[in-house]
Amino acid sequence: MIKQMGEECDDGNMADTDACLNSCKNAKCGDTIVQMGVEECDDGNMVDTDMCINTCKTAKCGDGKVQMGVEQCDDGNMVDNDACSNTCKSAAKIVFVTSTLQTGNMGGLAGADAICAARATAGGLAGTYKAWLSTDQVNGTPATRFTQAAVPYVKVNGVKVANNWADLIDGTLLSPIDVTELNGPAPQGNVGCPQGNPTVWTATNANGTLSNALSTCTNWTSTNNGSLWGRTTVTDTGWTAWCSGGTCSWTAPIYCFQQ
C-alpha cells in the first residue's frame, strides 16, 4: 500500500473496478474499466453518440445525445407532445442553415445535398437532408423533389418554422431559418446586394419553384453569372427570394431540410 514514484494510487488490492486500477492509476471515464457503483459503462472513447456516452452512462432516450442509427432525435426531456417524442422519434422535420459557406459551384444539386448530409452528421442529426435550391432540370426544385411533410418544420433548437409543407410555402414563416446544424447563428458570407446582410443561396421562390433559370449558377456548377439569395433573418418571402444579380463566386450558406 506504499505509493511508488510514478503511481497515482495504490490501494493494496488487485481489484480493477474500484477507484484505483491494477496499473495503480486513478480510475476515470474513458479508461475502458467499468468502475462499479460509479460508471454504468466505459467503452474507452469519448464519442458521445454511441451506446456509452462521455459521462460513462449507458445511452438512453432523454439523455440529450442522439444515438446514431438508433434515435432520430433526443431533446433531453420526456415531453411527448413536442418535436421529439418519448421514444426519440422525430415528430417534426428539422431545417437548418449551414454553418459553412459555399460559392455557387457546389457540384450540382447532388453536391449541395451532400453538403447538407455532411453538416447534419456534424450536428448529430439523423435522417436524410436536401438543399433548398432550384435548377432548370426535371424535378430540380424543392416543390418537385422534397417530401412534403404533414408534420411541423422546426429548427435544431426546437423552434417551429412552419406547421407543415403548405404552411412552409404560403409566403410567411413562423420563425426565420437562422440557426445552423450546430445550433449557432447563421454565418455571414460576402454577398454584396448589399453586403453585410445574412444571405443564403436559393434561386427559389417562396412556393418552392424555380425563380429564374439564369439565377442558378449554371445549376450550381459554376462561379460565373449571378444568382438569387434569400435572407436568414426574415419571415416574409424574403427568406428565400430577397436579392438577385451579383456573381456566383460570392460565398453564402444554404438551407437544408430533413426529408
Cell of 106: 457546389
Residues of the chain with pLDDT under 70: 1-8, 10-12, 16, 80-83
94 to 49, 162, 240: CA distances (angstroms): 18, 11, 17
Reported as a single tens digit per residue, the pLDDT across 133-164 is: 999 999 999 999 999 999 999 999 989 999 99
Q: Where in the chain is the domain with CATH 3.10.100.10?
A: 93-258
- Which pLDDT belongs to residue 167? 98
How many other C-beta atoms can be found within 10 angstroms of the C-beta atom of residue 32? 8
CATH class name, domain 93-258? alpha beta
Contact 204, 144 (CB under 8 A): no
- Which pLDDT belongs to residue 48? 82
Give the neighbor-by-neighbor strand order of the sheet with 129-131. 129-131, 255-258, 93-97, 153-154, 160-162
- Which pLDDT belongs to residue 163? 94
Work out the burial of residue 82: count CB atoms within 10 Å of its CB; fewer than 13 is exposed, 13-18 middle, 19 or more buried: middle
Reported as a single tens digit per residue, the pLDDT across 57-78 is: 998 888 888 887 788 778 888 7
